Structure 1
Amino acid sequence: MSTDPETTETSPAEGAEADAGEATDAEGAESTDSGEVAAVEGAEAAGKATAEAAAAPELSEAAAELLAQRLERERIERRKAEKAGPIAAGTKLRGTAADLLAAVRAVESGEKPVAAAFTGPEPAPRRAAAPEAVRRPQPVAAEPGAPAGETVASVRQVLVEGGAPETLAAQVAAVLGEGADDQLREDPWQLLRVPGVRPEQADGFARALLGAECAPDDERRGRSVTGWLLEQAALAGHTALEASALTAALAKQGVPDPDAATQSAIAEGEVLVFQDALDEPAVPVQRTDDEAEADEAAERPVRVLIGLERYALAEESLADGLARLINSVPKEDGSAAEWERAGAAKGSTGELIRAVAGHGLVLHTGGEASLEEPAALLHAAAGFGLRAWAAAYSPVGRDRFAALLTRSAEAEGAGPGEGPQVATVAGLLAGAEGPGRDADGALDLDLLVVLDAPQLDVETAALLTESLPDGARLVLAGDPAVLWSAGPGRVFADLLAARACPHVVSRRPDLGPVGELVSGIGIGELNQVEAPGKEVVIVPVRDAGEAVHRTVQLVADSVPRVIGVPAEQTAVITPGHGGAAGTRALNVALKERLNPGPGRFGGFDPGDRVAYSPTPGRTVVGQVVKADAEGLHLSCAGEPVVVPKERVEQSVRHGWALTAHQAVGARWPAVVVVLPGDAAQALSRPWVYTAFSRADRHLSVVHGVDQALPRAVAEIPAKPRTTRLPVLLRPQVPVGG
């Protein structure tokens, strides 16, 4: 490694800023406190996202995406209700893949007690016709589905009576819908459904409204706290919780009888319960008839999970869609001879093409250099006449891959605009980008390669698989060492572990000193690398104040002067938003140096770099253009975006400094990773890998955590997540496979 021109060389180390006020899981929103997960980041945006979307004549990007997802979820639910025949893939899911609806129906009807309500219903047809995708115009200022003024006013009155902030009125009305005021009076703990509200706040509101009737053992409180805890678990990446973990958490929240609270929430249909069989031996064991009969008679060990309906439906729908892809034969697009010629390519490129030729679902893993392989696959498929598309997680990733496709096409002599195309995942699902939909509502394509696949949460992945037409091929490609999705689930990791479909591992290494350093981190080694061109620089600091000072110096002076990368092409990555060297403090200092101004547009000035979150968990980096009566005008990846002024505070931040989760899916010529001394507890191998690998040419590490960095790389893996997808995928794994 090299040293900064003004420093001496030192061994790297890291740390994390703790923010006592805003805390989420370090792999979700990346601020940490005493250990509870709080829904603060994007809270108001999440509340508005639940509003109905029928009234507005124009749809913003965020609104179009949310509307498309809501319509798709409604379609999935209708499909579940019509379960009657085999799935289109030609096989039936077995075991717990079909438990969901049977449990719900049996418990709600009273036919069976909760513990016995797990018989298997018939699998469903793949899908009914989907509605037309919504295409959003740009730029716009309208936000759809705003609750009626009289509803907001009546809710505001109830909030004032209960001593709650009346500014929550619009969110409460959006979440609870029509009659929200009556719902609050009947059950004040419904306030917990609003993102960002905590149990102690809802308790105070309930005491003010109910008076002497308010009690800790109130069934309404138990049910609401149960739902709230599951929402917090989702923010940490879990799609469900083990029953024992949930009851323990309920006890910590002062619920006198956690078991009764859980049963009440199940009986009211507010949460769902699952009994998932524990793992079976990987190798079948030969048994006598008597032993087999004894095994059948013995009670099979299970784990009991509790989850929210939205994630349960998404995970089951995802399993159905993946089963259809795994068990179906792709369309015969292109002759066998054409596929064979393309599959003769060298190395892992040929392996990928041959795998895709005969399978509906293929996994592809590798670093940045490995993108050459899906690019070659897409060009080959387009040459056969297939409608081939790629989808990236971020606009930056989309544009980088589009440039790669263009270079590949030029090398092969193709003209501009020919061959495969690329969109973002969000734009593809919202209908703002991509090939559009066919008459059945499916995406109008034959092959889809999803890049940055580790960033797929269960809901997004379910929408993608359900949107594919029969006979289409899906390739999920990505680097398994990066941070998992901001939303619940670990879809890519679960699929890799299930070994239910072909998996092609790229043999293309990321080159250069940064690539060598990152490759070592991926296997748990923090190596010293030779960096003759100062590709990797370590900048030691003593405290957070010095970390901020040196970061500004690097971005504004040292990196442009020594490395030749201007400030506008340099990103700063730090573990958290809060603290003396979090994104807030760094952005204040960077704005003062790079684009000083009074912040006359809600704290922003033209030219400010911003991080815009159109939906919770997704960040787009852009620049402020202007502001007017419509809202704040941004340029994001070359596209104009208008953020309505009422949403600016909750969805737009300054964006010179980002967290690793905000930066995932994007890369910059130069990156400065800031590791203040109090950030050590937030570090893990995936965090370090993700932050360091965002750099193309140059990486500076502002280092203040001594040995915490090598310890995190060597010893701290990704935090575990509880998901049901492995169980739902188990019937698709070949015996002994």
Structure 2
Amino acid sequence: MPGARRRVGARAPLSRSRLEHAVSTEPGPTEETEPEEAPTGEDTATATGEQAGAVESEATTGGEGDAAARLSEAEAELAAQKVERERIARRKAEKQGPVESGAKLSGKAADLLAAVRAVESGAKPVAAVFSEPPAPRRPAPEPVQRPQPVAADVPAAPAAETVESVRGVLAEGGAPEALVPQVAAALGEGAAEQLRADPWQLLRVTGVRPEQADGFARALLGAECGPDDERRGRAVTVWLLEQAALAGHTALELPTLVAALGKQGVPDADAAVQNTLAEAEALVFQDALDPRAPEPADEDEERPVRVLVGLERYALAEESLADGLARLINSAPKQDGSAEDWERAAGAAQASAGELIRAVAGHGLVLHTGGEASLAEPAALLQAARELGLRAWAAAHGPLGRDRFAALLPEATTVTTVSGLLSGAAGPGRDADGALDLDLLVVLDAPQLDVETAALLTESLPDGARLLLAGDPAVLWSAGPGRVFADLLAARVCPQVASRRPDPGPLGELVSGIGIGELNQVEAPGKEVVIVPVRDAGEAVHRTVQLVADSVPRAIGVPPEDTQVITPGHGGAAGTRALNAALKERLNPGPGRFGGFDPGDRVAYSPTPGRTLPGQVVKADAEGLHLTCSGEAVVVPKDRVDQSVRHGWALTAHQAVGGRWPAVVVVLPGDATQSLTRPWVYTAFGRAARHLSVVHGADQALPRAVTEIGPKPRTTRLPVLLSPQLGQPT
């Protein structure tokens, strides 16, 4: 190919003039969520307030006797993620040699980082970074050293002198003392000196907003503090990208980021972006608007591109995910079982289950879509694979999904959770090369995979393994950044099998209609669906408590402990906080002696951000708060309770996704109508197995959300990264 053609899909710092040109000529996203207003991954109208509580936590699992000695699933998961990030960093470091002008770029994150370093060091001009076309991808990349489970490397508490010095600086700047441990943990040793040199580093603490960091900076810097301070521009740029990640984006289009900086009072947004890129605090990409479009016939003609800016953490994860998926797609699956054996198993299966078995037999990556009833098809596949002698496992998003799928199998021991599989707390273990010791992995609730989890998962699979991603594409997307399942479905890079098993009964009919944008009235002779109109939020709370405690048990026969309340947000007069307070008072009154909790309380435990485990309080003692979550004992240390445990009679739809209960009460207060979308309604209504009550105060916002408001857009790069590695759509 001609050497002058621009490299598409790479990243490199842009000059000021190139930034201005991109802002004026590149098309911006439509209906883009502003990052400073972005939700935190939970569908809540009070997202900003929840960001302060969305911090990582570790918990001790296992029986009471050996709780202190055993590695918790959460700690092991965090440790495995750390090992994967270190592996990616090592791969990146191997590429740090000089990049000669005109050298081909492979498109991997490490190669792109080398290009950035070459530009920053002056080795070649910006224009030369993209002067060569991409080098062809290998059909099947060589196996890589994969992460292995290790003992949890729990960060040590900050030194006492660090804490004291941070306390002094925060007091001098008028910041609340409650931030001391978070600042010390986020900035580490020398935190006080970092804050004095750059007060806007306070934005690295979860929950701190720019206006609060500005006040802190003014107190420390006095007359030297100004909105045009380069340090402020960089810090706000990174903060906006973090907010975008919380809203699900892996990167932001440049015009969107520039506009958001302007709203935050950054006078020269272009310079702020440029300075952030120069300090390697963010990365810039140029992606083809249509990655499958043919190369221009004229050498001087450039393909239209969009300019994106993102954080390195998510850029590397998305690059790693694309490489891992391409390896699976382009590698021939292991010849486990003859073609006749696979065909015999497919012929014995019912309906689309046979089609699924045939697809998995010959491909490394397969997608399966369907509702609750369709779970029988991955179950049939898993059983057939086990009978053919394959080491086949399934992993669900959470323990409720795990237990529900295990009930469809004769051997429940082959089902775990994604976090348990990756951490090594459950599953087949790892081989000598660090890969999962299996031949087939079925991942359920695939829409809940964010880019980092998906990257770790694919990198952990051995060559020749088969991966089935199964899920309902109409539910809410992952709490973390990315839309992996939706991107793969849209890219059509592998076989897709759509289940032909409809969910039965009035509930199945109602939810199926919502999935296609129709809110239909269904016949419910057994009171499967009940609408309870309310006038205001106070009445909504009253009727919800009445339904859970009295009406549903009496009329439907479902006890309160098997009924789940779902509402759009945590705040508001009928959010989870208000509903949980009212439900606790009715169902399990008590003084809340341990952080507001009493034995018998239903709780939602978040061992890591984006994961919610429904559970119940057993007791509290000096060791911490003792819970039982899906039959497993969990101990939450005292200092983690406020951050990781909430009352759980009422959840948001994002917390409830992946779960299913005999009865569900969905609360739609009038003050949360702006949070309603078709995926939210579909997810909330679809959690009910036998009975659904809708406490309806949203008036016409409900049908409007179902018919008109689709998923909130997310900016991702996965389809662009996959396109150069793969051939035509399957």
Per-residue deviation, 1:733: 4.7
**In structure 2, which of residues 256, 260, 270 is the aligned counterpart of residue 249 of structure 1?**
260
Q: Which residue of 2 aligns with 1:206?
A: 217
**In structure 2, which of residues 70, 75, 84 is the aligned counterpart of residue 63 of structure 1?**
75
Per-residue deviation, 1:595: 0.2
Q: Which residue of 2 aligns with 1:181?
A: 192
Per-residue deviation, 1:154: 2.0
**1:211-250 mapped onto 2 (5 Å cutoff):** 211-250=222-261
Q: Which residue of 2 aligns with 1:336?
A: 339
Q: Which residue of 1 aligns with 2:33?
A: none
| 2:90 is equivalent to residue 78 of structure 1 | yes
Contact kept in structure 1, 2:148 and 2:435, CA below 8 Å:
no
**1:412-451 mapped onto 2 (5 Å cutoff):** 421-451=414-444
Q: Which residue of 2 aligns with 1:162?
A: 173
**In structure 2, which of residues 149, 152, 177 is the aligned counterpart of residue 133 of structure 1?**
149
Contact kept in structure 1, 2:318 and 2:718, CA below 8 Å:
yes
**In structure 2, which of residues 607, 610, 621 is the aligned counterpart of residue 617 of structure 1?**
610
Per-residue deviation, 1:145: 3.1
Q: Which residue of 1 aligns with 2:647?
A: 654
What stretches of structure 1 of length at least 5 have no aligned partner?
Answer: 1-22, 50-55, 85-91, 137-141, 286-291, 407-415
Contact kept in structure 2, 1:102 and 1:121, CA below 8 Å:
no
Structure 2 distance, partners of 1:454, 1:687, is 13
Structure 2 distance, partners of 1:184, 1:59, is 35
Structure 1 distance, partners of 2:155, 2:40, is 31
Contact kept in structure 1, 2:105 and 2:112, CA below 8 Å:
no
Distance 1:490 1:500, change over 3 A: same
For 1:217, the aligned partner's letter is D
Q: Which residue of 2 aligns with 1:350?
A: 354
Contact kept in structure 2, 1:326 and 1:732, CA below 8 Å:
no
Tell me, what secondary structure is at the counterpart of 1:362?
strand
Q: Which residue of 1 aligns with 2:5?
A: none
Structure 2 distance, partners of 1:47, 1:211, is 37
Structure 1 distance, partners of 2:402, 2:544, is 28
Contact kept in structure 2, 1:613 and 1:620, CA below 8 Å:
yes
Per-residue deviation, 1:335: 1.8
Per-residue deviation, 1:353: 0.5
For 1:702, the aligned partner's letter is V
Structure 1 distance, partners of 2:556, 2:355, is 38
Per-residue deviation, 1:74: 0.8
Task: Answer 1 or 2: higher relative contact order, Cα 8 Å, separation at least 6.
Answer: 1
Tell me, what secondary structure is at the counterpart of 1:40?
helix
| 2:118 is equivalent to residue 106 of structure 1 | yes
Structure 2 distance, partners of 1:474, 1:322, is 9
| 2:390 is equivalent to residue 380 of structure 1 | no
For 1:661, the aligned partner's letter is H
**In structure 2, which of residues 272, 276, 279 is the aligned counterpart of residue 265 of structure 1?**
276
| 2:635 is equivalent to residue 642 of structure 1 | yes
**In structure 2, which of residues 609, 623, 640 is the aligned counterpart of residue 630 of structure 1?**
623
| 2:365 is equivalent to residue 361 of structure 1 | yes
Contact kept in structure 1, 2:245 and 2:251, CA below 8 Å:
yes
Per-residue deviation, 1:336: 1.8
Q: Deviations over 1:502-551 (max 9, x none)?
A: 00000000001101100000000111111110011111111111111110
For 2:364, the aligned partner's letter is G
| 2:611 is equivalent to residue 600 of structure 1 | no
Tell me, what secondary structure is at the counterpart of 1:698?
strand
Distance 1:127 1:45, change over 3 A: farther
Structure 1 distance, partners of 2:369, 2:193, is 52
Distance 1:736 1:47, change over 3 A: closer
After superposing the two structures, state which structure 1 stretch, 126-135 or 306-315, moved more. 126-135
For 2:150, the aligned partner's letter is V
Structure 2 distance, partners of 1:154, 1:127, is 47
Contact kept in structure 1, 2:95 and 2:114, CA below 8 Å:
no
Per-residue deviation, 1:98: 7.3
For 1:45, the aligned partner's letter is V
Distance 1:47 1:188, change over 3 A: farther
For 1:303, the aligned partner's letter is R
Per-residue deviation, 1:268: 0.6
Distance 1:683 1:61, change over 3 A: same
Per-residue deviation, 1:403: 1.1
For 1:573, the aligned partner's letter is I
Q: Which residue of 2 aligns with 1:578?
A: 571
| 2:203 is equivalent to residue 192 of structure 1 | yes
Contact kept in structure 2, 1:375 and 1:405, CA below 8 Å:
yes
| 2:459 is equivalent to residue 466 of structure 1 | yes
Contact kept in structure 2, 1:76 and 1:127, CA below 8 Å:
no
Q: How many residues align?
A: 675
Structure 2 distance, partners of 1:198, 1:662, is 25
TM-score (norm 2): 0.88
Tell me, what secondary structure is at the counterpart of 1:297?
coil
Q: Deviations over 1:296-346 (max 9, x none)?
A: 321221100000000000000000000001101011111222111112233
Contact kept in structure 2, 1:223 and 1:261, CA below 8 Å:
yes
Per-residue deviation, 1:438: 1.1
Q: Which residue of 2 aligns with 1:566?
A: 559
After superposing the two structures, state which structure 1 stretch, 571-580 or 339-348, moved more. 339-348
Distance 1:632 1:609, change over 3 A: same
Distance 1:578 1:736, change over 3 A: closer
Per-residue deviation, 1:45: 2.1
Structure 2 distance, partners of 1:524, 1:73, is 40
After superposing the two structures, state which structure 1 stretch, 656-665 or 215-224, moved more. 215-224
| 2:48 is equivalent to residue 38 of structure 1 | yes
| 2:699 is equivalent to residue 706 of structure 1 | yes
Tell me, what secondary structure is at the counterpart of 2:680?
helix
Contact kept in structure 1, 2:603 and 2:616, CA below 8 Å:
yes
Contact kept in structure 2, 1:448 and 1:473, CA below 8 Å:
yes
Per-residue deviation, 1:576: 0.6
Per-residue deviation, 1:732: 4.3
Per-residue deviation, 1:731: 2.3
For 1:388, the aligned partner's letter is A
Per-residue deviation, 1:115: 5.9
Q: Deviations over 1:402-451 (max 9, x none)?
A: 11113xxxxxxxxx66xx61111111111111111111111111110000
Per-residue deviation, 1:216: 1.4
Contact kept in structure 1, 2:40 and 2:51, CA below 8 Å:
no
Structure 1 distance, partners of 2:415, 2:58, is 30
Structure 2 distance, partners of 1:372, 1:448, is 16
**In structure 1, which of residues 536, 560, 563 is the aligned counterpart of residue 529 of structure 2?**
536
Contact kept in structure 2, 1:318 and 1:465, CA below 8 Å:
yes
Structure 1 distance, partners of 2:345, 2:156, is 49
Q: Deviations over 1:154-184 (max 9, x none)?
A: 2222212221122222212222222222211
Tell me, what secondary structure is at the counterpart of 2:409?
helix
| 2:498 is equivalent to residue 488 of structure 1 | no
Tell me, what secondary structure is at the counterpart of 1:674?
strand
Q: Deviations over 1:81-135 (max 9, x none)?
A: 3369xxxxxxx99668776324432333233455653465787965543453136
Contact kept in structure 2, 1:633 and 1:640, CA below 8 Å:
yes
After superposing the two structures, state which structure 1 stretch, 611-620 or 113-122, moved more. 113-122
Structure 1 distance, partners of 2:203, 2:215, is 12
Q: Which residue of 1 aligns with 2:18?
A: none
Per-residue deviation, 1:207: 1.5
What stretches of structure 2 of length at least 5 have no aligned partner?
Answer: 1-35, 60-67, 97-103
After superposing the two structures, state which structure 1 stretch, 641-650 or 159-168, moved more. 159-168
Per-residue deviation, 1:71: 1.1
Q: Which residue of 2 aligns with 1:395?
A: 399
Q: Which residue of 2 aligns with 1:150?
A: 161
Q: Which residue of 2 aligns with 1:410?
A: none
Q: Which residue of 2 aligns with 1:29?
A: 42
For 2:81, the aligned partner's letter is Q
Q: Which residue of 1 aligns with 2:21?
A: none
Structure 1 distance, partners of 2:142, 2:202, is 37
Tell me, what secondary structure is at the counterpart of 1:548?
helix
Q: Which residue of 1 aligns with 2:303?
A: 300
Q: Which residue of 2 aligns with 1:14?
A: none
Tell me, what secondary structure is at the counterpart of 1:666?
coil
For 2:82, the aligned partner's letter is R
Distance 1:330 1:93, change over 3 A: farther
For 1:421, the aligned partner's letter is T
Distance 1:97 1:293, change over 3 A: farther
For 1:155, the aligned partner's letter is V
Percent identity for Structure 1 against Structure 2: 78
